[in-house]
Amino acid sequence: MRQHGVMTTISLVQGDITEQQADAIVNAANSSLLGGGGVDGAIHRRGGPEILAACRDLRASHYGKGLGVGQAVATTAGRLPARWVIHTVGPVWSAEEDRSGLLASCYRESLRVADELGASSVAFPAVSTGVYGWPLDDGARIALETVRRADTAVTDVRFVLFDETAYAVFAALH
Ligand code: ADP
């Protein structure tokens, strides 16, 4: 049942998510929460050591085995313009196994965490479509469908696509 009853505007931006002025930006993290390449590397580089320190605290306090695939958790955004970083762990693409439920969960759980924080604007990257190998068009479809269906108080969801190709794929489905 829908509880929030607010309209969520979904928009697309081509650019670098670390530059976004949003209450929260979402990180395509890995389960260690201790940094990686791609968007994760960029967030830690630009956001400074405070984010990694918060991630280490989370590992020590709640996530001894790491954050599970499809889950999400928030930290400070350090020096970034955003207020929070919501870390989510996307599934690695598999041709043998349908993991799309886990990818959808990344978007849903990130919005649930955003609601807990009271964030009204959230910027997402295309989770799993980089090093984790998810086909861009399918990743975009899952991202857009999941956010459209989500029951959230977030009013502004922005997909921040790093390159022209990713932007075009999202735009075709938007
Ligand atoms: P994953 O391991 O979940 O695949 P990646 O960071 O490798 O995560 O890639 C996820 C998506 O984020 C890819 O489409 C990649 O092009 C994009 N990306 C990489 N850097 C940035 C950035 N600074 N801002 C927004 N998107 C980015």
Q: Give yes or no for residue 53 having a pLDDT over 90.
A: yes
As beta bridge partners, residue 122 has: 24, 157
For residue range 59-114, what is the model confidence (pLDDT) as tens digits? 999 999 999 999 999 999 999 999 999 999 999 999 999 999 999 999 999 999 99
Q: Give yes or no for residue 50 having a pLDDT over 60.
A: yes
Which one has a higher pLDDT value, 98 or 5?
A: 98
The minimum-distance atom of ligand 1 relative to the CA of 160 is 25
d(CA 43, CA 37): 10
d(CA 99, CA 93): 7
The confidence band for 147, taking pLDDT boundaries of 50, 70 and 90, is very high
For ligand 1, mutation pick of 39, 40, 124, 158 (most atoms within 8 Å of CB): 39
Q: Is 25 in the pocket of ligand 1 (CB under 6 A)?
A: no
Task: Tell me if the pTM is above 0.80.
Answer: yes
Which is catalytic among the residues 16, 23, 40, 98?
A: 40
- pLDDT (0 to 100) of residue 96: 98
d(CA 146, CA 103): 9
Q: Give yes or no for residue 2 having a pLDDT over 80.
A: no
What is the rounded average pLDDT for all residues in the chain?
97
d(CA 25, CA 91): 19
d(CA 135, CA 129): 6
Report, in this order, helix, strand and coil percent for the chain, each rounded to 5: 40, 20, 40
Instruction: For residue 161, report the distance from its CA to the centre of ligand 1, in Å.
Output: 8
Residue 140 to residues 12, 52, 53, 126, Cα–Cα distance (Å): 11, 28, 31, 7
For residue range 123-137, what is the model confidence (pLDDT) as tens digits? 999 999 999 999 999
Pair 15, 113: CB distance under 8 Å: no
